[in-house]
Chain A
Amino acid sequence: MSAEAAVRVEDKLYLNRYLVDSGRAHIKVRPHAKPSAALLSLLKLCPAHCYEMNSAGQVEIATDGCIECGTCRIVAEPSGDIEWNYPRGGYGVLFKFG
């Protein structure tokens, strides 16, 4: 088993504090039939593993665990694959240490 398979990001995210703004995802994936290369790369690039492939082969995002690093914006906003915003003031991840 590789080290990668052994690490569950979800367990790491449990350590963090979040104030989730339910129903207001701050990042949206543009609807697509077949994901672009940029979108596919986010499956691995996102440090919070927010991007996942659904059963129809499309890339989806669940922003609840987002640590607001901005990586997906750099990679996929220029091509229009995603729409990226900050959460509303006060919402999102709340670092105790940072």
Chain B
Amino acid sequence: MKFIVYRYNPDVDTAPHMQEYDVEVTRGMMLRDALMEIKRQDESFAFRHSCGEGVCGSDAVNANGSNLLGCTTPVSDLKEPVNVRPLPGRPVIRDLVVDMSQFYQQYRAVQPYLIHKDPLPEKEMLQSPEDRDKLDGLYECIMCGCCSTACPSFWWNPEKFYGPQALLQAWRFLADSRDQATEERLDALEGPYKLFRCHSIMNCVEYCPKSLNPTKAIGKIKELMLKHSI
């Protein structure tokens, strides 16, 4: 099977180029296996990967125009020749390795941690199964970046718009019955850019490899914001 892969090493290349590789496909092969095979053929090829089972989020790439995880994408699902590129809109460090610093900054900007102000109980803070269910679809995010790097609002305003991943996290804490910082969280999302640059294009939903729905989470924040401002 033919793979056409984005190559750029600033140490030796003056410009990026696409390089072709032939990989013998075996049954059950995932895109990550194919990339590892390319690495065997060509030691100089660089990409991130680790768990191999869709839980660590390292090996997000763009294949045939879609953002996806290499380790959970069967090559048999991909049309030949397979074009493999780095996640869009991020500075390329080398080959498929992109600089995700901004993405992580946005994550940190939403205060992605539980804030509880009352004295803590000796045992667990109680939470009903119904309240816990509200976190399903939110806490599973693996921070692979497939959503944010597929979002046009994120491409246009990466310094100001927080992007789907960070906003999903913002909602994960707003939705947690144990969190006691709702006011501050909503105040911190005020303004025309951080939250409101989401135009419900829904690329994030299409590309999330964990089937999460950042657009819906953003909608929930907007609703809460509205109630909060009344």
Chain B associates with chain A: no
Q: Give chain B's interface residues, CB within 8 Å of chain A.
A: none
Which residues of A line the B interface, CB within 8 A? Answer: none
